[in-house]
Amino acid sequence: MNQAALLAQVARIHGDRPAISYGQRVCRTYAELGDRVARLAGALRGELDLMPGDRVALAMKNDPLYLEILYAVWHAGLAAVPINAKLHPKEFAFILYNSGAKACFATPDVAGTLADVKAEAPDLEHLIAIDDPDFEDLFAAPPVPAATVDPDGLCWLFYTSGTTGRPKGAMITHRSLMFATTNYLADVDQISERDCMIHAAPMSHGSGLYAMPHVARGANNIVPQSGSYDVEECLELIRHWPGASFFFAPTMVSRLLNHPGTATADLANLKTVVYGGGPMYLEDTLKALEILGPKLTQIYGLGEAPMTITGLPKSAYLDRDHPRYLARLASAGFARTGVEVRVVDADGKEVSYGETGEIICRGDIVMGGYWLNPDATANTLRDGWLWTGDLGAMDADGYVTLKDRSKDMIISGGTNIYPREIEEVLLRHPDVYECAVVGRPHADWGEEVVAFVVPQPGQEIDTAELDKLCLDNIARFKRPKEYRLVTALTKNNYGKILKTELRDLLAAEAEG
């Protein structure tokens, strides 16, 4: 079923209810949203001449128009390509080129950058800035009915950060997104038309996915006027809007807890804080329960299985008498309804309870594969199972605890950063012999990026040159916060750099 058909239903049932708000101001009711989505879909199919299955990119920071465009794409039978608005121009160019997007909608902050790289994406016929008068003219098109879609057809093409230097497009189907929507209502939280979701995290990622169950239930979607995460602004929005939910990375929870205004804020309207994107320290979880109350629920998922592999429900936070209460709070919960989860060895054999292995899963949430990348698809999808690349252990009750990331991924501020992508950029410097990028513990961001660099024999390197090289090729938030020049990197007998030792060194320094 098309997500846009859910919106059309809600527009009939709850037409007078707020659908999208900007700060404390209602922008669209559901009747208005449904009408504008149908008209924009008509323009996409008519004036822009897009055909079913064509890809439409959204290079946008959080904006009240985001959901209008997203649902119009689906209403027209097209596939959405959400792009992080913080990416580097070269990263924008690759995603637009690789996806073959025919159209791209952009917020003003990135529209100019996209215009500069448009020539590198030959399939891109329409680049539309949402502040351009021509954009609003599109809503004058006659409305069209929601397209009938193939449940296994492409719906959401999500580009993961590239472990091999290039991001991969996870093909999320209509079936998968519908599963994620209904599973949220089954496992994470119940929603009524009087609730709301405040989108302080990027709508191109998890927060946007969690707009879907809120739309399905006729709830209000609030976009902060800052367009991003500002704790004081969020506290004020909580005070104003009843039934408020958030999706937060653990570091965002930490910033909320440590803000001086939170302890005395009126949090009566706060309903649910869903957190994911990385593990949260147990101390922070306990502090959140003390300050926010029993309003937490944790999720674990991937871009390849969006937000829906395991979860820790609100009830687990209330079961304080359970002998493994603290261990459960430190876990990522248990398999979500309709999802099978196993922990296996390299041969795919289940390991014993408590033993560490790779987490694999299967179910309707799993992607259809990687866009134009059959080798990566075959490596990740095996006999119907998604191999996550994450290491963890499962206890006898089915609770999964994440242990490590087999792909050496760094999570900074809830954003995934893959070291090899940065390493390949650093190795372009002629005086770099080898390098290793790892994460260092950071109180606010979870981790920050550190690069260990070995110069070519007899050469000296100015770290400012390395910094400029990174800024010229990758997004600013991915660049290392420190470039540490060393004479050698410790390796194992097979010549592999021992990144664990580097991480241990940084962790010890942070503790000291």
Cα separation, 132 vs 121, whole angstroms: 21
- Show Cβ contacts of residue 441 under 8 Å, excluding neighbours closer than 6 positions: 447, 506, 507, 510
CA 89 distance to own-chain centroid: 20
pTM, two decimals, is: 0.86
Helix axes 30-45, 66-75, angle to 10 degrees: 60
Cα separation, 507 vs 441, whole angstroms: 6
Tokens of 48: 């822009």
pLDDT at 444: 86
**Contact assessment for residue 197 and residue 221, using Cβ atoms and an 8 Å cutoff:** yes
CA 355 distance to own-chain centroid: 29
Per residue in 282-302, is it b (16+ CB within 10 Å) or e — as a string? eebbeebbeebeebbbbbbbb
Tokens of 70: 């997203």
Tokens of 79: 């596939």
DSSP-derived letter for residue 146 is: P
pLDDT at 427: 87
Cα separation, 60 vs 62, whole angstroms: 6
Residue 92 CB: number of other CB atoms within 10 A? Answer: 26
pLDDT at 466: 97
Name the helix (H) or strand (E) containing 402. strand 400-405
Per residue in 321-340, is it b (16+ CB within 10 Å) or e — as a string? eeeeeeebbbbbbbbbeebe
Q: Mark residue 96 as left, alpha or beta (left: phi above 0; alpha: psi -120 to 50; beta: remaining).
A: alpha
Closest of 408, 502, 405, 416 to residue 453, by C-alpha: 502
- Show Cβ contacts of residue 165 under 8 Å, excluding neighbours closer than 6 positions: 420, 421, 424
Q: Which residues of the chain have pLDDT under 50?
A: 163-164, 493-494
Query: What CATH number matches the domain at 412-511, 3.30.300.30, 3.10.620.30, 3.40.50.720, 2.40.170.20?
Result: 3.30.300.30
pLDDT at 175: 97
**Contact assessment for residue 248 and residue 280, using Cβ atoms and an 8 Å cutoff:** no
Length of the chain: 512
If one looks up domain 3-389 in CATH, what number appears?
A: 3.40.50.12780
Q: Is 12 exposed, middle or buried (0-12, 13-18, 19+ CB in 10 A)?
A: exposed
Three-state secondary structure readout of 288-343: HHHHHCCCEEEEEEECCEEEEEEEECHHHHHCCCCCCHHHHHCCCCEECCCCEEEE
pLDDT at 492: 63
Name the helix (H) or strand (E) containing 126. strand 126-129
- Looking only at the bridges linking them, the beta strands covering 55-59 and 18-22 are unpaired
pLDDT at 160: 86
pLDDT at 497: 80
The ranges of the chain annotated as CATH 3.30.300.30 are 412-511
pLDDT at 164: 45
Rg of the chain, C-alpha, whole Å: 23
Cα separation, 105 vs 131, whole angstroms: 10
- Quickly list DSSP for 425-479: HHTTSTTEEEEEEEEEEETTTEEEEEEEEEEPTT----HHHHHHHHHTTS-GGGS
Cα separation, 60 vs 79, whole angstroms: 16
The ranges of the chain annotated as CATH 3.40.50.12780 are 3-389
Which strands make up the sheet holding 305-312, listed edge to edge? 25-29, 18-22, 220-223, 196-198, 244-248, 270-275, 296-302, 305-312, 334-335
pLDDT at 280: 77
Q: What is the pLDDT of residues 268-325, one digit of tens each?
A: 999 999 999 776 778 889 999 999 999 999 999 999 999 999 999 999 999 999 999 9
**Contact assessment for residue 6 and residue 14, using Cβ atoms and an 8 Å cutoff:** no
Name the helix (H) or strand (E) containing 176. helix 174-183
> Which residue's entry shows tokens 């080798």?
375
- Looking only at the bridges linking them, the beta strands covering 244-248 and 270-275 are parallel
